[in-house]
Amino acid sequence: MLSMSDKEITEVYETLTTIPTKDFGDHAYIPELLPRLAEQYEKSDPGNLVALLTMNYLVLNKGDSIYVPADGIHAYFSGNIVECMARSDNVLNTGFCPRADRDSIDLFTAALTFNPQNAQDAILKSKSSDKGLKGHTKVLAPPMSEFDMLVTELKSNETETVKALGGPSIMIVTGGKGTLNAEGRDHEVKEGYVFFIGYNTEIELSAVDGLETHIAFCEA
């Protein structure tokens, strides 16, 4: 599919649009997404076919999380997410981008792990974390600790103390507003604010009108 010409990809796309939705069975999302993707990326983009015909399709709701291993193929169609990834310049693109930006197909397929093989294997479930001293914090912990993330959710007037971590962290406020206290100083926090939290720094979060934060961290 990645090697097909623009003409061939467009012909397959057009054929898929003529098939009745009922004929797709459990995969009825394919005809529903085809026009939306074609509008975003053009009918001739190979990503349209690869994503819809060969990849697991997931609808993520607020609070859901997935883990994509190194060299794992993935694409986000719509919505807002918090993504924690390594700083790198080795991403390989073969679809959902202009042809001039596409990388070698041979290199892409050689690196591809074909994991996870089903949707359930991609789901990363949160666990209660002892980093939150008042019980309002959960952790998303993939197989390698460099990508751990703390998720704190507070209702109005609730507080949470996140104990000092053994490494630096980055916090993004993903909802609500309130106050962050660190080293005796108060800082306003609200949706969209980002903070760097230094090594061994305890913080206290106080919600004014509900508060949600995501903290990406790595401990030595």
C-alpha–C-alpha distance, residues 175 and 160, integer Å: 15
Report the pLDDT value the prediction gives residue 178, as an integer from 0 to 100.
98
Domain boundaries, the chain: 6-122, 127-217
- Rounded Cα distance between 165 and 171, Å, is 13
Spatial contact of 50 and 1, defined as CB atoms under 8 Å apart:
yes
Half-sphere exposure of 114 (CA within 13 A, CB side): 3
Token reading at 218: 């790595």
Query: Cα(first)–Cα(last) distance of the chain, in Å?
Result: 43
Alpha helix ranges (H) inside 42-170: 46-54, 105-111, 119-122
Fold that domain 127-217 belongs to in CATH: Jelly Rolls (2.60.120)
One digit per residue, the tens of pLDDT, for the chain of length 220 reads: 999 999 999 999 999 999 999 999 999 999 999 999 999 889 999 999 999 999 999 999 999 999 998 899 999 888 999 999 877 777 899 999 888 899 999 999 999 998 888 989 999 999 999 999 999 999 999 998 889 999 999 999 999 999 999 999 999 999 999 999 999 999 999 999 999 999 999 999 999 989 999 999 999 7
